[in-house]
Amino acid sequence: MRKIKGLRWYMIGLVTIGTVLGYLTRNAIAVAAPTLEAQLHITTQQYSYIVAAYSACYTVMQPVAGYILDILGTKVGYAVFAIMWAIFCAATALANSWGGLAIARAAVGAAEAAMIPAGLKASSEWFPAKERSIAVGYFNVGSSIGAMVAPPLVVWAIVAHSWQMAFIITGVLSLIWALCWLVFYKHPRQQKKLSDSERDYILSGQESHHQIDNGKKMSAGQILRNRQFWGIALPRFLAEPAWGTFNAWIPLFMFKAYGFNLKEIAMFAWMPMLFADLGCIVGGYLPPLFQRLFGVNLIVSRKLVVTMGAVLMIAPGTIGLFTSPYVAIALLCVGGFAHQALSGALITLSSDVFGRNEVATANGLTGMAAWTASTMFALVVGALADTLGFSPLFAALAVFDLLGALVIWTVLKNKPAAELEQTPAAPAAEPVRS
Ligand SMILES: O=C[C@H](O)[C@@H](O)[C@@H](O)[C@H](O)C(=O)O
């Protein structure tokens, strides 16, 4: 059978398209919101319930989705969740009240919770450890691309047809991708189109906790009791509010702080997302570069990227020192880059320390911690932005990331979680007292 050269990069491209569609279906509701409020007579508070329904289900379902992915495997597991999110997204068109929309979006959020754990599991299977962060950067960039594609596509569907058509189209696109995933995704060991040399390069470059299936799977309890989990989950808890803030609040910040009109918002508010894309990609290449430059090991190279991102997050933290809106946008661009660079390293670390049978469960648990913080911080922004202003909130994000960097250097050890699992050696028997 003809072999396909560099097949692993096609595989991560397939994963990236899945992340693009996941974010496209996620952001469709935000783009359609003004139309939904007008046509279904929904209040802004009722819209916030619809958004909260998605976030709550996405947050709590990440470890569950991760566990199911570890049990069913990446191919079947991700296909099941993607088909579900496609159907639930299209079913959003049936809603005729805010309650119906909230139920549909809750279902979409629950199904899309598999997106990041599945992306990491696929990266763990198809890449050697030294390229893993690059693979994560590529599939994670789909989150920013999907967020950028949503406005033009959804607005076109609404203007050309109806708001219902926007959800039907994004649902159908997701279903087509899910079927392609089922057809094309296979583990490197089963993929006949993979050359022997590339298969050896991939598998021999992985740590033993990915190469060898010892049949053991750390339980959620064991993961939660392992310090390696907290060495990743706490920095993700501290970092994720930045992502939620950059995604949800920049247009309103530019309007409230600098009086930007819609045209100015359309001209500038997307720029931090573009730099977030750059942060995903560049951030993925930094760990192997740091390993070559500084001779550090894999986990330390990720810690250096997290630290670099945390220091760069000081830039948006200084927004309050300037009056120019253009300086503010530039500082937010640095923040978008910094966040996605450090976030990619944090996502990758779940695979550096947890094995093939629990990597998605562990990543899902860190993602639940991340999104819990993001949801909490969104409520803080909503409560304080009008009184305190946004500048102190951006400064808080910088402090959170610096704290996260401190945690990762002090809590996360440079070894697989399983090595910390071994029950401590039985204490030496007391000498029999004569
Ligand atoms: O911090 C942000 C992440 O890198 C982002 O790209 C996503 O992975 C996000 O966590 C999500 O779960 O959708």
Residue among 343, 351, 363, 377 to mutate when testing ligand 1 (max atoms within 8 A of CB): 343
pTM given for the model = 0.90
Q: Which token pair is 144?
A: 């920013």
- Per residue in 39-87, pLDDT (tens digit) is 999 888 888 889 889 999 999 999 999 999 999 999 999 999 999 999 9
Ligand 1 atom at minimal distance to the Cα of residue 58: 12
What mean pLDDT comes out for the span 225-238? 97
Per-residue pLDDT at 424: 52
Which 3 state secondary structure label does DSSP give 282?
Answer: helix
pLDDT band of residue 216 (cuts 50, 70, 90) is confident
Please check whether residue 382 lies inside any domain of the structure. Answer: yes
With a CB cutoff of 8 Å and minimum separation 6, the contacts of 244 are 374, 375, 377, 378
Please check whether residue 43 lies inside any domain of the structure. Answer: yes
Burial grade of 349 (CB within 10 A; 0-12, 13-18, 19 or more): buried
Question: Measured in angstroms, how far is the CA atom of residue 1 from the centroid of ligand 1?
Answer: 38
- Per residue in 329-381, pLDDT (tens digit) is 999 999 999 999 999 999 999 999 999 999 999 999 999 999 999 988 887 87
Which of 331, 189, 308 shows the shortest CA–CA distance to 254? 331
Q: What is the mean pLDDT of the chain?
A: 92
The span from the CA of 181 to the CA of 338, in Å, is 31
Ligand 1 atom at minimal distance to the Cα of residue 343: 4
240 lines ligand 1 (CB under 6 A): yes
Per-residue pLDDT at 252: 82
What mean pLDDT comes out for the span 171-186? 97
The span from the CA of 32 to the CA of 34, in Å, is 6
Question: Measured in angstroms, how far is the CA atom of residue 29 from the centroid of ligand 1?
Answer: 18
Query: Measuring CA to CA, how many Å separate 365 from each of 65, 192, 219?
Result: 10, 34, 12
Question: Measured in angstroms, how far is the CA atom of residue 434 from the centroid of ligand 1?
Answer: 64
- Per residue in 94-150, pLDDT (tens digit) is 999 999 999 999 999 999 999 999 999 999 999 999 999 999 999 999 988 888 888
Q: Which token pair is 152?
A: 């033009």
What domain count does the chain have? 1
Question: Measured in angstroms, how far is the CA atom of residue 240 from the centroid of ligand 1?
Answer: 8
Residue 409 sits at φ, ψ, to 5 deg, of -80, -25
Ligand 1 atom at minimal distance to the Cα of residue 370: 10
Please check whether residue 433 lies inside any domain of the structure. Answer: no
Range of the domain at 112: 7-186+196-204+226-419
ipTM for this prediction: 0.94
The span from the CA of 13 to the CA of 363, in Å, is 21
**pLDDT > 80? residue 23:** yes
Please check whether residue 170 lies inside any domain of the structure. Answer: yes
Question: 269: part of which helix (H) or strand (E)?
Answer: none
The one-letter amino acid code at 420 reads L
Q: Which token pair is 182?
A: 């089922």
Which of 184, 76, 74, 207 shows the shortest CA–CA distance to 130? 207
Please check whether residue 13 lies inside any domain of the structure. Answer: yes
340 lines ligand 1 (CB under 6 A): yes
Question: With the C-alpha atoms ordered 397, 402, 403, 404, is the resulting torsion angle positive or negative?
Answer: positive
Could you tell me the end-to-end alpha-carbon distance of the chain, in angstroms, rounded to an integer? 75
CATH assignment at residue 392:
1.20.1250.20
